[in-house]
């Protein structure tokens, strides 16, 4: 059980499962914006975080 919870937390820190979930919800279930809003905001947050880290590490090297 402990290994599964660690894998789940690691997986959720990536954009792919959120993207797949949004695609499944919209294409298969016909979900609305209210249904996909959480996953969309998580993807935006992860994108901002990853781009911020990329800029920060690039700035340190130059």
In the chain, the percentage of residues whose pLDDT exceeds 70 is 77
DSSP track, 2-59: HHHHHHHHHHHTSHHHHHHHHHIIIIIT---HHHHHHHHHHHHHHHHHHHHHHHHHHH
Select from 24, 26, 9, 18 the least CA-distant residue to 45. Answer: 18
Residue with token string 């911020």: 52
Domain count, the chain: 1
pLDDT above 80: residue 6 = no
Domain span at residue 40 reads 2-61
Q: What is the chain's mean pLDDT, rounded?
A: 82
pLDDT number for residue 17 = 83
Cα dihedral sign, 22-23-27-29: negative
């Amino acid at each position: 059980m402990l290994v599964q919870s660690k894998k789940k937390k690691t997986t959720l820190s990536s954009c792919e499962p959120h993207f797949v979930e949004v695609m499944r919800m919209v294409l298969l279930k016909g979900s609305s914006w209210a249904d996909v809003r959480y996953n969309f905001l998580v993807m935006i947050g992860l994108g901002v975080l990853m781009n911020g880290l990329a800029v920060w590490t690039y700035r340190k090297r130059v």
